[in-house]
Chain A
Amino acid sequence: MADFLQLALSGVATGGIYALAAIGFVLLWQTSQTINFAQGEFVMLPAFFVLAAMKFGGLSFPMALLVGLLVALLVLGLLFKRLVVDPMLRHGVLPLVISTLALAIFLKESVKEFYAAEAQAFPAVWATTDLSIGGTVVSAQSLVIIAVAVSAVALLQYFLGATRTGRQMQATAQNPALARILGIPVERMILYTFLINAALVALASFLISPIYLAKFTNGETLGLVAFVAAIVGGFNQVRGAILGGLLVGVIDNFVAAYWSSQYRAAIPLFLLIAVILWRPQGLLGRAEERTV
């Protein structure tokens, strides 16, 4: 029972981090038809912004976290949109997809070249202690990750649903042409989406790097998992991305513990194939029609 609880908690914690990355994926698609195959590298990079701020800027960890977040918003939000998405999207979705693939390689190799090829220790924001719940030892770290991820998602849902700007962003996602006619500043709403994605991947980075260590290759696994989670949950629904992330995290853990460590990476892919075959819109997604 204790093992089951620990596995479930670890799975939900990891799944929460996957969900943050998957939500960003979905938001970018919904508002600007952007499929960002550099999303994994976007999760990898903010940790290195923080480490660089500490190493070269001499900043304390809390200040470095703030600087890392601001740099992530600038580079992964504003600059990504202005320098990559805007010029490429004019030519269609496929050129943009290829550009993000190239961007992923560029970011990965840049970190390897200009920072380090080896893994780097990344401080944890919380104390690495244990708690006893009903006689079972559980990791405080997992609980903190779950709490932070849930809070971030709840805040995002509140922002999107209960604020004027959030509703304008939803309107832009649903029908940009009509939103423009109604006087919604569509370009600004799209920019906000990119900034929100940058904030989400930064948060995911700060949560996962203390466990995975900060390494230039982290994006490879995380990007694939985020993509799978978004598809499985539903590429056109934020709550689908949340469900997808949690599902992938929990299944991955239980498969590794009770079936096979060697095949744990294959199970999310089987899940992806199954969803595409039997419910292509995702578990919580809406079926969409396309004009021909």
Chain B
Amino acid sequence: MKARHVASLLTGVLVLGAAQAQQTVNMPIVIELSGAGAVSGTNFRDGALMAIDEVNAKGGILGRRISSPVTDTQSNPGISRAQVQKAIDSDPYVILGPVFSGSVKVNMVLAQQAEIPQFTGAEAADITQMGNDYIFRTSFGQQVSMPKMANFIRDDIKAKSVAFLWVNNDFGKGGRDAFFKEMAARNIKIVADVSTESGQVDFAADIVKVKAANADAVFIYTNEEECARVLREARKQGVKVPLIGETTLIGQKVIDLAGEAANGAKGHVALTADAPIPAVLAFRDNFQKRFKYLPDHNGIKGYTAIYAVKHVTEKMGKFDRKLLAKTLHGLTIKPEQEPGVLMEATWDAKGDIDRISFLVEVVDGKQKVVQILPKLGK
């Protein structure tokens, strides 16, 4: 009698579990929540979670609620690989994250082999050059952003020489290679090439080297926390030439951490929560209301990734991972079709994304957009 009861109970639980799984779609977030990438990863996660709640509140995707377990890569490529494997073992529809290029390069092979689309915040140029049909960016790669940055240095800053301070990881190395190529093409001399370490806290010696180079401008290409420390040290040592960056230097979190030292910094950003676009400003206000801090570009990456998946899935009318990847290649999603993407975005055959972008300056602790640059494809 007892055994029969236990068996019935077990069967009931299994059936309930299966029914529950049928009503949800699994989209794990594998992201940096500690370590050097905590700022980027936390923003990405929170943007994604906000989008997930919005989508679920309206009935989910094709009637299925999104279930999104979050795991921490600790900004460590080895751990990120293990977390992605764990996510793959849970039979996900798509995988979101990580942001750090070094981690993505190590773990995207697993997602590729499992034929699971992966939406990453990484920007290293070579991520989409490795023949992976399942990797999709949520922001520009360096091969797109650096030419725009180089034009800004030549035409707006009018610098003939630049000191380049960069972080010695996959993100920094990729950016360095792309940047050097663009500077050479425009006959702008790089008079200092200063490499720094991920997680570095003391930049006194590096800023001394940069100052000694007497460049017309200083291009800072490190991750967010390090950017804030660099800005503080540059202010401390009285660096007077323009401090310019690409995405990270002028991000909102960096501005919050660097305080007054961030004022005057300029650069190019692919995404900004201060873009003069009503949908983006509404996203920023909702994000701040919910999470009590202003989002940076990583928040927009996570948010728009969810809506891109939603749009493509609804377009297909079914949940099919391989078809999602195939459909997204070459697809343009406009805000009129899917408001959650915030701005028109096009994915090419390699998974790179094309959107409008922005030239910004930090004024009184906020990003001020000074120019909007068109899509490359237009």
Nearest CB in chain B to that of A137: its residue: B238
Nearest CB in chain B to that of A142: its residue: B236
B32-40, B78-86, B109-117, B311-319: which one contacts chain A? B32-40
CB atoms of B34 and A256 under 8 A apart: no
CB atoms of B208 and A3 under 8 A apart: yes
CB atoms of A217 and B256 under 8 A apart: no
CB atoms of A118 and B168 under 8 A apart: no
- B177 at the A interface (CB under 8 A): no
Most-contacted residue by chain A among B204, B225, B256 (CB, 10 A): B204
Q: Which residues of A contact B42 (CB under 8 A)?
A: 117-118
Interface SS of B by simple majority: helix
- A60 at the B interface (CB under 8 A): no
CB atoms of A213 and B229 under 8 A apart: yes
CB atoms of A257 and B208 under 8 A apart: yes
Contact with B along A99-116 (1 / 0, CB 8 A): 000000000000010000
Alpha-carbon distance between A256 and B237 when the two chains are bound, in angstroms: 16
A6-14, A63-71, A86-94, A281-289: which one contacts chain B? A6-14
Q: Which residues of B contact A257 (CB under 8 A)?
A: 205-206, 208-209
A253 contacts which of B196, B204, B212, B229 (Cβ < 8 Å)? B204
Contact with B along A28-44 (1 / 0, CB 8 A): 00000000000000000
Measured between C-beta atoms, what is the minimum distance from B137 to chain A in Å? 23
Q: Which residues of B contact A14 (CB under 8 A)?
A: 202, 204
Query: Which residues of A213-235 are within 8 A (CB) of B?
Result: 213, 215, 217-218, 221
Nearest CB in chain B to that of A260: its residue: B195
CB atoms of A117 and B38 under 8 A apart: yes
Query: Which residues of A143-201 are within 8 A (CB) of B?
Result: none
- B338 at the A interface (CB under 8 A): no
Given contacts A118-B42, A257-B209, A261-B196, contact A137 B204 (CB under 8 A): no
CB atoms of B232 and A211 under 8 A apart: yes
CB atoms of B237 and A139 under 8 A apart: yes
Nearest CB in chain A to that of B194: its residue: A261
CB atoms of B256 and A121 under 8 A apart: yes
CB atoms of A7 and B232 under 8 A apart: no
Nearest CB in chain A to that of B75: its residue: A117
A252 contacts which of B38, B197, B202, B233 (Cβ < 8 Å)? B202
Nearest CB in chain B to that of A139: its residue: B236
Q: Which residues of B contact A218 (CB under 8 A)?
A: 201
B197 contacts which of A10, A213, A261 (Cβ < 8 Å)? A261
CB atoms of B206 and A212 under 8 A apart: no
Contact with B along A231-255 (1 / 0, CB 8 A): 0000000000000000000001111
Interface range on chain B: under 10, 10 to 19, 20 to 34, or 35 or more?
35 or more
- A262 at the B interface (CB under 8 A): yes
Contact with A along B247-286 (1 / 0, CB 8 A): 0000001001111110000000000000000000000000
CB atoms of A213 and B208 under 8 A apart: no
CB atoms of B235 and A3 under 8 A apart: no
Alpha-carbon distance between A118 and B258 when the two chains are bound, in angstroms: 14
Interface range on chain A: under 10, 10 to 19, 20 to 34, or 35 or more?
35 or more
Q: Which residues of B contact A112 (CB under 8 A)?
A: 34
CB atoms of A212 and B259 under 8 A apart: no
Given contacts A128-B261, A137-B237, A211-B233, contact A217 B199 (CB under 8 A): yes
CB atoms of B237 and A213 under 8 A apart: no
Alpha-carbon distance between A141 and B232 when the two chains are bound, in angstroms: 11
Q: Which residues of A contact B350 (CB under 8 A)?
A: none
Query: Which residues of B313-328 are within 8 A (CB) of A?
Result: none
CB atoms of A118 and B211 under 8 A apart: no
- B228 at the A interface (CB under 8 A): yes
- A274 at the B interface (CB under 8 A): no
Most-contacted residue by chain A among B33, B201, B206, B260 (CB, 10 A): B201
CB atoms of B208 and A6 under 8 A apart: yes
CB atoms of B196 and A212 under 8 A apart: no
Q: Which residues of A contact B200 (CB under 8 A)?
A: 261
Measured between C-beta atoms, what is the minimum distance from B274 to chain A in Å? 19
CB atoms of A119 and B39 under 8 A apart: yes
Alpha-carbon distance between A3 and B214 when the two chains are bound, in angstroms: 12
Q: Which residues of B contact A118 (CB under 8 A)?
A: 38-39, 42, 225, 253
Measured between C-beta atoms, what is the minimum distance from B43 to chain A in Å? 9
CB atoms of A128 and B260 under 8 A apart: yes
Measured between C-beta atoms, what is the minimum distance from B94 to chain A in Å? 25
Measured between C-beta atoms, what is the minimum distance from B2 to chain A in Å? 43
Q: Which residues of A contact B209 (CB under 8 A)?
A: 257
CB atoms of A212 and B229 under 8 A apart: yes
Alpha-carbon distance between A123 and B209 when the two chains are bound, in angstroms: 26
Measured between C-beta atoms, what is the minimum distance from B150 to chain A in Å? 25
Nearest CB in chain B to that of A7: its residue: B208
Nearest CB in chain A to that of B168: its residue: A262
Contact with B along A1-27 (1 / 0, CB 8 A): 001001100110010000000000000
12 contacts across the A-B interface (CB closer than 8 A): A3-B212, A10-B204, A118-B39, A120-B257, A121-B259, A128-B232, A130-B238, A139-B237, A212-B229, A253-B204, A261-B205, A262-B168
Please give 18 more A-B residue pairs, beta carbons under 8 A apart, in addition to A117-B33, A212-B201, A215-B225.
A7-B205, A7-B208, A11-B204, A14-B202, A112-B34, A118-B225, A118-B253, A130-B236, A130-B238, A139-B236, A211-B232, A211-B236, A213-B257, A255-B205, A256-B205, A257-B205, A261-B205, A262-B197
Which of A's residues lie within 8 Å of B, judged by CB? 3, 6-7, 10-11, 14, 112, 117-121, 123, 128, 130, 137, 139, 141-142, 210-213, 215, 217-218, 221, 252-257, 261-262, 264
Which of B's residues lie within 8 Å of A, judged by CB? 33-35, 38-39, 42, 168, 194-197, 199-202, 204-206, 208-209, 211-212, 225, 228-229, 232-233, 235-238, 253, 256-261
